Structure 1
Amino acid sequence: MTEGDINFWDSLETLGHELLDREREIVQKRQPATEKAKTPTSENGESGSRGQVLRAIERLTETMIVALSKEQSPVLTYKDRRNSSNVSFDEDFGVVPSDTIAVKTVDFSAIKSTTRFARTLQVLAISYRLVQTNTYSTKRDVFYNNTKLFGSQRVLDTIVDDIACMLNVPRHSLHILATSKGCVAGDLTLVDSDGSFLDCSVASGGTMVPAHVQHITNLHSNAKFVLVVEKDATFQKLLDDGFCRKLAPCIMVTGKGVPDLNTRMLVHKLWKAFHIPVFALVDADPHGMEIMCTYKYGSMALSHEFHSLTVPTLKWLGVLPSDIRRLCIQEDVLLPMNDSDRAKARELLEKPFLSAEPLWKRELEEFLTRDRKAEIQSLISISPTFLTDVYIPNKIKFGGWI
């Protein structure tokens, strides 16, 4: 091991100790905050146990039957997941439920609501049967079993999320799962929910994130850090360049763009299990920054599941807007900001979490000042292996994260 290698791992160890202290503070605060969210938990601490989900659906069904017996129109009421007044920002947890409860209603007597009412009841019936028999189905299978009723996959996805929020349980507790799209690679082994052993270091293109992340067990790793990569193309490029071997031991994860629930849950689980630094590598544009914020702070639509999705200590490794200037990346590989980029940048500047990240805010403002953005792949213009051999190792070694 060279002196440079020693300095590299020393940097990580120092950061790891700092983050561990920070994590202890967060964990101490997380328990009362989780209780405040009032998410049902089983005796072993797992939120949304089978019995509780069944009882919640039964209570909801009973209220509808009672309404019909009184010749009243049944009404479904659920928290409006898109209403900003229903969430607040906490520096230790991210986007969390607030005390305000703005709701939406689906009234069977309203002609415009009858289709949505029928769709919701159908999903409730499917979920009840799945939970009762302890079996699972994918959202895709549910959709294709009744395409005429649901119309589109997006409609079904929204209904499943709304029901989870209505019953105040994690989405996976409904036993209707989304197919995972993320991948993981590096020094990580685990046992999947079906008892199969997965070694994430052997698959050449990475291992698919399990569909039942909440039920994986026996996680083992000697990794010193986790690298969350925005795009699959960059993830594959790093694998091809031997990233996981050259910077071993480490773990690399990609959500292939906007991360799905399972990928976010896995990153959280790795952070919680191993207490190691988690870095984000995203495009130097506002949309890449928004994706990184989703991993770190969560999202408004799934704020009720913040306790299993966020990584508050995540660090932005790159590509920073200031890196574009510092590395003198050629102008011909940069891209001009478009209206969507500028609007997204201004939207992010208004987010409350930017007040907790002044360095992030400064980088975001540089987007608007320079009116230029860059993809991660732009670093290849310097050298084909610049990202793996120079950029990331030196960023970690010299503390180039924010």
Structure 2
Amino acid sequence: MTTEDVCNAVRQLRKELIDDWYLTRVKSECNVDVNGDQVVPFNTFALKTSIPRIPRCDILRKIENIILKILKSLEKGIMPSFEYANHSSWDNIKFSVEFGLETIMEPKTSKISFGSKRSRKKFDLLLKLLAIIYQLVQTDAYRTKRDIYYQNVNCFKTQSVLDTLLNNISHLLEVPRWDLHVLSTSKGCIAGDLQFHDANGNFICCKNTKSGKGFPDINTRLLLKTLWNELRIPVFGLMDADAHGIEIMFVYKFGSKCLSSEVESLAVPTLKWLGLFPSDIKRLGIPENQLIPVTEADIAKAKSLKNRSFVKSNRLWLQELEILLEQKQKAELQSLNDFSFTFLPEVYILQKIASKGWL
């Protein structure tokens, strides 16, 4: 195996991904027979290379209309309520090869009524958060979720409650999360031969040695999608050989249930899973002292993943999950350090790419 073997594999994959994307666009946007004689210029189907933004005035108007509706309900003696698409149910989600996990055309809704004792508290919290967002958008200011939480800790109780409410408001207003002027604390890091200017004109150089951590956050997913849109470079996923690692890979590739309405801006369906596969544990002979027994939560997560439609239709993904459940052991990427500290970057990754050993 040589460096040229690795580069050739990446070049060929890039060409195949662009060709596949092009043919898919021709079929869906032009409804033409791609095997016929009609030739359509490639640039006719250029992807959106910028993340869609909603004008501030439109967001303010949406919030004002909601408040006006509440006032009119009270005037008529009707208990006010919020109603929005329920993104916690898989019944409202469909899968497409082109984009990933999408919200169906007419999703079932959730209704939060002030007249219901069960939902009155949530109604109050949604109204409070709407007021905060309105002020931020109106003044063109930004705050982090962390700031909002700690300044209102008695209201929101936990940061996960605040995060759920932000998703609810995003669906209520039909506005992307990133247009609500509430910033997430990024968990992802970037390193490598990449330089760019951000929206504020700051020059960013990515030549450092940090690594990502945790569940995929919105900012990391937006950046990854932008890299594919702008540069058309192959994206590889390298995760731990466990159910949670596999789920993280699926979120980057197909998006998530709660943000399915923003899948076109967040998911990278062209992503290839490079490893660490559950099958690699025996194939590589990872030492027993580096393996971790799976927990009941791991088993439940793996079984849940097996039931997803896009997994059922992919024999190799299904096989890896079955191996994980059968061997009842998982491995972290760090376990490869037992071979040598350079085994992962200099042997495993390069051999996987050169041999096209991705899924």
Alignment TM-score > 0.5, same fold: yes
User: Kindly tell me: are residues 103 and 371 of structure 1, through their superposed partners in 2, closer, same or farther at Cα, counting changes over 3 Å?
Assistant: same
Specify the code of the residue in structure 1 equivalent to 2:184: A
- Give structure 1 stretches of 5+ with no counterpart: 33-43, 207-234, 236-253
User: Kindly tell me: are residues 286 and 18 of structure 1, through their superposed partners in 2, closer, same or farther at Cα, counting changes over 3 Å?
Assistant: same
Q: What per-residue deviation string (whole Å, max 9, x for no partner) do you get for residues 165-218 of structure 1?
A: 1111101111111111210010111222332111111x4x43xxxxxxxxxxxx
Segment of structure 1 superposing worse, 305-314 or 121-130: 121-130
Which of 5, 21, 35 aligns to 1:7? It is: 5
TM-score (norm 2): 0.89
Which of 63, 79, 96 aligns to 2:85? It is: 79
Specify the code of the residue in structure 2 equivalent to 1:118: D
Q: What per-residue deviation string (whole Å, max 9, x for no partner) do you get for residues 88-145 of structure 1?
A: 1112211100134222111112233332222111111111121122221111112222
Equivalent residue, structure 2, for 1:349: 306
Note if contact 1:317-1:395 (Cα within 8 Å) is conserved in structure 2.
yes
Q: How many residues align?
A: 340
Equivalent residue, structure 1, for 2:351: 394
Local SS of the residue matching 1:276: coil
Is 1:63 aligned to 2:69, yes or no?
yes
Equivalent residue, structure 2, for 1:144: 150
Equivalent residue, structure 2, for 1:110: 116
Local SS of the residue matching 2:171: helix
Give aligned-pair identity as a percent. 42
Note if contact 1:91-1:356 (Cα within 8 Å) is conserved in structure 2.
no
Equivalent residue, structure 1, for 2:180: 174
Note if contact 1:85-1:100 (Cα within 8 Å) is conserved in structure 2.
no
Measure, in 1, the Cα distance between the counterparts of 2:248 and 2:199: 28
Measure, in 1, the Cα distance between the counterparts of 2:112 and 2:265: 29
User: Kindly tell me: are residues 343 and 8 of structure 1, through their superposed partners in 2, closer, same or farther at Cα, counting changes over 3 Å?
Assistant: same
Measure, in 1, the Cα distance between the counterparts of 2:11 and 2:139: 47
Equivalent residue, structure 2, for 1:94: 100
Shift of 1:13: 0.5
Shift of 1:336: 2.1
Shift of 1:27: 5.0
Q: What per-residue deviation string (whole Å, max 9, x for no partner) do you get for residues 210-236 of structure 1?
A: xxxxxxxxxxxxxxxxxxxxxxxxx3x
Equivalent residue, structure 1, for 2:126: 120
Q: What are the residue-to-residue correspondences of 1:210-225 with 2, within 5 Å?
A: none
Note if contact 2:94-2:102 (Cα within 8 Å) is conserved in structure 1.
yes
Measure, in 1, the Cα distance between the counterparts of 2:181 and 2:241: 37
Specify the code of the residue in structure 2 equivalent to 1:293: F
User: Kindly tell me: are residues 110 and 141 of structure 1, through their superposed partners in 2, closer, same or farther at Cα, counting changes over 3 Å?
Assistant: same
Local SS of the residue matching 1:181: coil
Measure, in 2, the Cα distance between the counterparts of 1:331 and 1:140: 40
Equivalent residue, structure 1, for 2:323: 366
User: Kindly tell me: are residues 261 and 196 of structure 1, through their superposed partners in 2, closer, same or farther at Cα, counting changes over 3 Å?
Assistant: same
Equivalent residue, structure 1, for 2:14: 16
Is 1:326 aligned to 2:271, yes or no?
no
Equivalent residue, structure 2, for 1:249: none
Equivalent residue, structure 2, for 1:39: none
Note if contact 1:30-1:307 (Cα within 8 Å) is conserved in structure 2.
no
Local SS of the residue matching 1:387: helix
Measure, in 1, the Cα distance between the counterparts of 2:27 and 2:54: 21
RMSD between superposed Cα atoms in Å = 1.9
Equivalent residue, structure 2, for 1:376: 333
Equivalent residue, structure 2, for 1:36: none
Equivalent residue, structure 2, for 1:339: 296
User: Kindly tell me: are residues 292 and 165 of structure 1, through their superposed partners in 2, closer, same or farther at Cα, counting changes over 3 Å?
Assistant: same
Which of 113, 134, 138 aligns to 1:132? It is: 138
Shift of 1:332: 2.5
Q: What per-residue deviation string (whole Å, max 9, x for no partner) do you get for residues 305-331 of structure 1?
A: 101110101111011122222212222
Note if contact 2:187-2:214 (Cα within 8 Å) is conserved in structure 1.
no
Shift of 1:28: 5.4
Q: What are the residue-to-residue correspondences of 1:291-302 with 2, within 5 Å?
A: 291-302=248-259
Which of 52, 71, 81 aligns to 1:46? It is: 52
Which of 172, 186, 191 aligns to 1:185? It is: 191
User: Kindly tell me: are residues 146 and 45 of structure 1, through their superposed partners in 2, closer, same or farther at Cα, counting changes over 3 Å?
Assistant: closer
Q: What are the residue-to-residue correspondences of 1:142-291 with 2, within 5 Å?
A: 142-201=148-207, 203=208, 205-206=209-210, 235=211, 254=212, 256-291=213-248
- Give structure 2 stretches of 5+ with no counterpart: 31-49
Shift of 1:275: 0.6
Q: What per-residue deviation string (whole Å, max 9, x for no partner) do you get for residues 237-257 of structure 1?
A: xxxxxxxxxxxxxxxxx2x12
Measure, in 1, the Cα distance between the counterparts of 2:27 and 2:158: 41
Note if contact 1:106-1:117 (Cα within 8 Å) is conserved in structure 2.
yes
Is 1:313 aligned to 2:245, yes or no?
no
Measure, in 1, the Cα distance between the counterparts of 2:150 and 2:51: 34
